[in-house]
Amino acid sequence: MDENTKKTQKKRERRKEARPAEIIAAAIDLWKVRGFAATRLEDVAAGAGVAKGTIYRYFSSKESLFEAAVEARIVRNIDQADQSAELFGGTTEEALLTFFEKVRREMVEGGSFIFLKVLISEGHRFPELVERYEATVLRRGFEVVRRILLRGVERGELKPEAAEFDPRLVVAPAMMLSLWGTVFPGVGTPDAHQLLRQNVALLIGSLGVE
């Protein structure tokens, strides 16, 4: 095939700084469609426009490439969460809906579902990675939800008991939906928005004042 996609360019460029990010990006792109195990490092290399050996200058193994990719995404997630002023502008209802939509978009469109997939199926192989993902992404997400609930109570929109409500129950449907959507075509995708809205209604209906 034609590896002359980028026409006028030296074959060998030394771009120490840019390589890791490019390799990670190529890897995630491929993992999204073929999965982690089924994607060969050689394909990743091709996708990033380097030779296989180059990957090993920056990552000591396929797994450590995966770790680095998770790390990169986690950082992005944290940044996003920090700018979450939008979550705390309007009503509790709006905040929940925005949050769910954020989760769904990051998972499905952003491709983060691939990390979950790998952790789910091969997590026992890298327990420390599972640990970090749990601590950094999941717990952080739960924390955001807890803040939304607390603020709702303060604003008088939620009953006081809502402060004790377990965030895992709030988040589970949004995550499950995203996962289902990438596995079972019929179950998750078609009406995600609709369903998330219904989930918000459920929560407000039970935890809301009146």
Partner DNA sequence: TCTTTTAGTGACTAGGGAGTCATTAGTGTA
Partner DNA sequence: TACACTAATGACTCCCTAGTCACTAAAAGA
Residues of the shown chain interacting with a copy of itself in the complex, contacts defined by CB under 8 A: 34-38, 117-125, 130, 133-134, 138, 165-166, 168-169, 172-173, 175-177, 179-180, 183-184, 186-187, 195, 198-199, 201-207
State yes or no: residue 25 binds DNA (CB under 7 A).
no
- C-alpha 128/C-alpha 106 separation (Å) is 23
Binding flag, residue 12, DNA (CB under 7 A):
yes
- Using the minimum distance from each CB to DNA, give the nearer residue, 11 or 124: 11
Cα maximum dimension of the chain: 69
Of 116, 132, 137, residue with least CA distance to 179 = 116
CA 117 from centroid of its chain's CA atoms: 11
Task: Check: CB of residue 113 under 8 Å from CB of residue 178.
Answer: yes
What is the Cα Rg of the chain in Å? 20
List the single partner that 209 binds among a copy of itself, DNA, none, CB under 5 to 8 Å by kind.
none
Q: Which does residue 124 touch among a copy of itself, DNA, none (CB within 5 to 8 A, set by kind)?
A: a copy of itself
Nearer to a copy of itself, 55 or 207 (CB): 207
Residue 125 touches which member of DNA, a copy of itself, none, C-beta under 5-8 Å by kind? a copy of itself
Contact status: 6 vs DNA (CB under 7 A): no
Counting DSSP H helices and E strands in the chain, the numbers are: 11, 0
Q: Which does 7 bind (CB under 5 to 8 A by kind): DNA, a copy of itself, none?
A: none
CA atoms within 13 A on the CB side of 108: 22
Does residue 15 bind DNA (CB under 7 A)? yes
Contact pick of 54, 84, 136, 182 for DNA (by CB under 7 A) = 54
| 11 near DNA (CB under 7 A) | yes
Among 6, 7, 16, 124, binds DNA (CB under 7 A): 16
Residues binding DNA: number (CB under 7 A): 25
Distance CA 165, CA 73 (A): 28
Q: DSSP secondary-structure letter at 8?
A: S
How far does Cα 77 stand from its chain's mean position?
7
Which one, 47 or 208, has the nearer CB to DNA? 47
Residue in the structure block whose two tokens are 């002359």: 4
Other CB atoms closer than 10 Å to residue 100's CB: what's the count? Answer: 25
- What are the residues binding DNA (CB under 7 A)? 10-16, 19, 38-42, 49-54, 56-57, 60-63
